[in-house]
Every structure is written in C-alpha cells, then in structure tokens.
Amino acid sequence: MHIEPPFYGVLVAAILYWLGGRRRVSAPQRGRTAAFVAGLLAIVVAVDSPIDSLADRLFLAHMLQHVLLISVAPPLFVLAAPWTRMWQPLPLRFRRTVARAIVLSPRARWLRRTSHAVAHPLCAWTLASAILVVFHVPALFDLTLRSDAVHQLEHSLFFCTGLLFWGAVFDSPPFRARLGYPLRAAFATSGMLVGWLLAVVLAYARTPLYTPYASLVHRPGGLSALADQRLAAGVMWVPGSLAYSIAIVVFAYRWLAPVHTLRGAHT
C-alpha cells in the first residue's frame, strides 16, 4: 500500500495532540478535539485516499482535493486551536531554547517582523488568493500533474495559506483575529468571491483548459473533458463556498445581535 508523504505529517500531528492533552475533558476542549480530528481526516481524504488516485483521471476529483485543503481542513484546524497542546509534549529544554530564541534573540527579529506581516489580514488574503489563482493557470496546473514534487508543493501551499486566511477570520487561542465582526464577514466574502471568479472561468470556458485532462481517452463515468471541467467548477462554486458562507452568516449575526438585544430591552 502506497502512503503519501503528507500522511506522516498527519500522524505526527495526531500523536503530539494526543500526548499534549489526554486529561482535558472540558466541553470546549471536546469540541476543539472534534474539529482537529475532522481537519486531519479532511487532509487524509484529500491526499491519501481513492480521491487522490481518481484525481489523475478526473478534474472533478482534483478540485475536491483543493476544496478540502483550502476551505475544509484549515478552518477546522484554526477552530481547533491545537497550537499550545501540540507544543506541550516536546522536551522542556527544547521548548525553552526555541521560545527564547524566537522571542528575545536579536537575530530572530526578522522572523518576528515577517510573521507579524504575513499574519496581517491583507497579506493573508493576498497570499491565499494569489496561490489559488496562480496554481490554476494552465501551464502551472499541468506541471502539477506531471511532477509529484510540484503537486505536493501545491497542496502544502494551499493548506498553509488557508491557515493564514482562516486565522484572520476565526480566533484560534492563543492567537486572536485582528478584525471586528463586520470586517470578518467582509473578509470571508472577498475570499469566497475569488473562488467564484475562478469557477466562472472554468464553467464558461468553451474548451478544456488543462492538457492532461483534455488528452485522456477515457474518464470515469464516460464524462467528456468539458463536462468534467464544468463539474469541477461546480465543486468550487458550491461545496467550496460552504465554509465561507457559514463564517459570513455567523459574523453578520454576531455583529447585529447586540443591536437586536438592545432594542428588545427597550420594548
């Protein structure tokens, strides 16, 4: 049985998480644990399941991988907030050395500044949107289908920039989102619109855009290359918008809820 490299990262993350909080049984922690496990499963389904094999012959499956790595696994990880819990099992001396170097060392000043800048909502949005669009440019997309290394890089960048994007939407203790509720709703809306724009291009293209899929003689289900491409656009358009839509509704409600409460108190 062939195991993809990302599976080992998932395994290490699961072990660290388990070691870091076996005794925590509070209700909020159980919810975070459920989100963490669901996020890990989303990664495994995307990169080490039959979907990964099917993605070589079906653009629809390939797009499902992208949705899982951009708008399913990252928001689940951010909501799970596993950072402190995964840090705890590491040796104390190692933790102290690394923390002291990162927080206090003058040599790490560039790292602190870079991290602060990259986590800024505008930078996070720009990086996530640019990675999504660039990797769907036909020349680069075709390269990911020919080179496993580039394909792994693509998936890693989708997930990492997804963490940055969703970290600007949801609080993830000890980190807090910098935006207020209305701006968080607007931020999620803008991220969703980038995916919609790409879906529109795929759906209304008159010819298949990606050579490896266009050149296939047979596809599962007997789909044509153009039908496969349009179904992939539908995956990005509908399932790919679900997390963004939930975030928009939640933060719009939280923004408006105090107004309704105040009005109710006066009536």
Per residue of the chain (267 residues), what is the pLDDT tens digit?
456 667 788 899 999 999 887 665 566 788 899 999 999 999 999 998 899 889 989 999 999 999 999 999 999 999 999 999 999 888 988 888 888 888 888 888 888 888 889 999 999 999 999 999 999 999 999 999 999 999 999 999 999 999 999 999 999 998 999 899 999 999 999 999 999 999 999 999 999 999 999 999 888 888 999 999 999 999 999 999 999 999 999 999 998 876 545 454 444
Residue 72: other Cβ atoms inside 10 A: 23
Name residues whose C-beta falls within 8 Å of residue 71's C-beta, 6 or more positions apart in sequence.
162, 195, 240, 241, 242, 243, 244
* Number of Cβ atoms within 10 Å of the Cβ of 161: 23
- pLDDT at residue 267, as a whole number: 42
pLDDT at 262: 42
Predicted pLDDT at 169: 95
| Contacts of 22-30 spanning 24+ positions with Cβ under 8 A | 24/85
Tokens representing 107? 């040599």
Q: What is the pLDDT of residue 221?
A: 85
Q: What is the pLDDT of residue 43?
A: 95
State both tokens at 51: 């979907």
Does this model's pTM top 0.75? My answer is: yes
CA-to-CA distance for 239 and 200, rounded, in angstroms? 15
Domain locations in the chain? Answer: 5-266
pLDDT computed for residue 20 by the predictor = 86
For every residue of 245-265, DSSP letters joined together read HHHHHHHHHHHHHHHHHHHHH
What angle is formed at CA 39 by the lines to CA 144 and CA 253, rounded to 5 degrees? 110
